[in-house]
Amino acid sequence: MNPLRCPPASLARTLLQLPNVGPAMAADLRLLGHTSPHSLTAADPYRLYAQLCQQTGVHHDPCVLDVFIAVCHYLQHDEALPWWHFTAARKQKLPGDAAAGIPLYNKAP
């Protein structure tokens, strides 16, 4: 959803009401076991990204991580911002390719 059209975070009831989330991103969140905004309130966006990469067997574009950061920020701070607002901070935290810089949690030995 366009961040300007999001309801207050406490009123978001569906994944499609989250900022920057469309049908494909909602499907990715459901794949990770999240069926409502409430289930994401304490989520770690970096862990979500790592889990998505692991479950799909694909290193997703770093903008997917930016969307996860935007969603978590919205739910924790009630501030809906476009995903690209978080790109610079993500690049600073993870220099280089974000997909390569994040360990895949629960990776089989």
Which pLDDT belongs to residue 99?
A: 52
Burial of 62: CB neighbours in 10 Å, binned 0-12, 13-18, 19+:
buried
Which pLDDT belongs to residue 102?
A: 62
Class of domain 13-101: mainly alpha
* Claim: this prediction has a pTM higher than 0.85: yes
Tens of each residue's pLDDT in the chain, 109 residues? 999 999 999 999 999 999 999 999 999 999 999 999 999 999 999 999 999 999 999 989 999 999 999 999 999 999 999 999 999 999 888 776 545 556 544 444 3
Which pLDDT belongs to residue 93?
A: 85
Q: Does residue 22 contact residue 15 with C-beta atoms inside 8 Å?
A: no
Q: What are the residue ranges spanned by the domains of the chain?
A: 13-101
Of residues 46, 48, 38, 49, the one with CA closest to residue 15: 38
What angle is formed at CA 106 by the lines to CA 97 and CA 28, rounded to 5 degrees? 65
